[in-house]
Amino acid sequence: MAELTVALHGGVIGTLSDRGAAFDFTPTGDAVRRYGLGSRVLSAAIPLAPRPAASTRPVRQNFFAELLPEGNARRRLALEAGLDADDVIAMLRVYGRDVAGAIQVWDAALPGEPRTPATEPLDDEGVARLLRDVGIHPLGNKPRRGKTSLNGVQDKIVLVRTETGWARSLDGFPSTHIVKPIVGRYPSMIFDEEYGSRFARVLGLADFSTEVMTFAGEKALVIERYDRSGSAADGRIHQEDFNQVLGCRGDQKYEIYGKRGLSDVAKILTPGDREKLLRMVALSIAVGNLDMHLKNIALLHDADGGYVLAPMYDVVPQHFPEYDNDGELALSVVGVFDYAQIHRDLIVEEAEAWGVADASTIVDEALSVTLEVAQREIPHSGAHPGLQQLIARTTESLLAGRTVIGTEPGVPGEGPRPAAGRGAWEWPNARAPRVGGLSDDPPLEAGD
């Protein structure tokens, strides 16, 4: 039976046994002794044990499966390597050296493995070429030497920032930045995201850089990876998203499919982090970040088994008619999915159910800061027209006790639309009336 080696913080922590669909993770005895029996150093969902219970194998499988991309990006990675996209072990064997967090995966039985990581310098034209070819070579992986996997559906490449410029990651070198090109159907998206990131930084919810840069004429959003640090062991900081934490798979990041929501996230957190989560929710409502799903919320782990709520990321205003989304939240607020019906008191009620003390004050402070930022910060010229004014108007409505669209709470809206979007964009909407031949089929991967 073939096995893959799993390393954490630069040291071997266990193995993945290749049993096809029945693959499983087992920690080494040394790892259990080093970190302690029951340690959550790998995942809040996976206590280390020398003989893990068979009943919890699906949780362990899901943790590793969720390291891989979704949708077209996953299919393209599989096609490039001649693999079945659903074969998690085969995919991690090829693309497991540079993933989210401080994990590395490789097959020690292959000659030369684990290879010594390296970089390949790139000039602006080299970066631009990777951005233009992202549909062919997802994540900017170099054939046979690119070992990067990163979850998500949006097209992106990863790069290494060196002392002399930009470089490509080879053989598992820890990438330091995520770079997103302009999306054809939604040309303002990367500029809208850059604007959203400013609010998160001012509110103390993010501390990494996000900036629009141009490479040989190709504009792109360059995002510093918060799970990478030159001062960390092996250059990596461990993290996991809440699909991994809660055992949700793929589309189950959306509450309507996975039946897990904000209260499930809050249960995992300390009181201080619940307040941080509340600020994240208040900001998302104010700026129209409808797509704050479970894969867009994460935990940061330390080497001793502790964890905290990770910085806020993927803050993308998307409440525009042009985005063809369903106008609904990925995660409901006290059971309300319809964004147009959300008002301040619902956000407070949601947080009070988590046990947050003085939730009303926290929400008002977060909204007040959001309004101040919207009034002074001008978006990039490529951002959606009227974005600044829309966020300011929405936030003013929330502070006045009205809904995000300025109506009094309780006034019926239009109701759910037939299809949701990508990110929230083109997903069949299980809450909408069946029209136009919609079926009970499971949701398609974004991009299908």
Number of alpha carbons in the 13 Å side-chain half-sphere of residue 113: 21
Catalytic residue among 24, 107, 192, 291: 291
* Cα–Cα dist 428/188, whole Å: 24
Residue 291 annotated as catalytic? yes
pLDDT level of residue 289 (50, 70, 90 thresholds): very high
Extents of the domains making up the chain = 3-106, 118-224, 236-399
The 10s digit of each residue's pLDDT in 221-252 is 999 999 999 989 889 999 999 999 999 999 99
Structure tokens of 429? 């909407």
The 10s digit of each residue's pLDDT in 315-356 is 999 987 767 678 999 999 999 999 999 999 999 999 999 999
pLDDT above 60 (res 441): no
* Cα–Cα dist 5/16, whole Å: 6
Q: What is the model's pLDDT at position 145?
A: 62
pLDDT above 70 (res 413): no
Mean pLDDT of all residues belonging to the chain: 89
Average pLDDT over every residue of 347-368: 98
pLDDT above 60 (res 443): no
pLDDT above 60 (res 298): yes
Q: What is the model's pLDDT at position 131?
A: 95
Task: Round the CA-based radius of gyration of the chain to a whole number and report it.
Answer: 22
pLDDT above 60 (res 10): yes
Highest mean pLDDT pick, 69-83, 380-394, 403-417: 380-394
Q: What is the model's pLDDT at position 417?
A: 46
Structure tokens of 127? 């970066």
Q: What is the model's pLDDT at position 144?
A: 55
pLDDT above 90 (res 120): yes
The 10s digit of each residue's pLDDT in 397-409 is 999 999 999 999 9
This prediction has a pTM of 0.91
CB 371 within 8 Å of CB 396 = yes
Closest to 139 measured CA to CA, from 94, 199, 202 = 94
Q: Buried b vs exposed e over 306-343: b needs ≥16 C-beta within 10 Å?
A: ebebbbbbbbbbbbbeebbbbbbbbbbbbebbbbbbbb
The 10s digit of each residue's pLDDT in 185-217 is 889 999 999 999 999 999 999 999 999 999 999
Q: What is the model's pLDDT at position 233?
A: 80
pLDDT level of residue 80 (50, 70, 90 thresholds): confident
- Torsion angles phi and psi, residue 329, rounded to 5: -80, 145
pLDDT above 80 (res 100): yes
Residues 236-399, CATH architecture: Orthogonal Bundle (1.10)
**Other Cβ atoms within 10 Å of 211 Cβ, number:** 12
Structure tokens of 361? 């004050």
pLDDT above 70 (res 421): no
pLDDT level of residue 436 (50, 70, 90 thresholds): very low
Q: What is the model's pLDDT at position 152?
A: 63
Q: What is the model's pLDDT at position 149?
A: 67
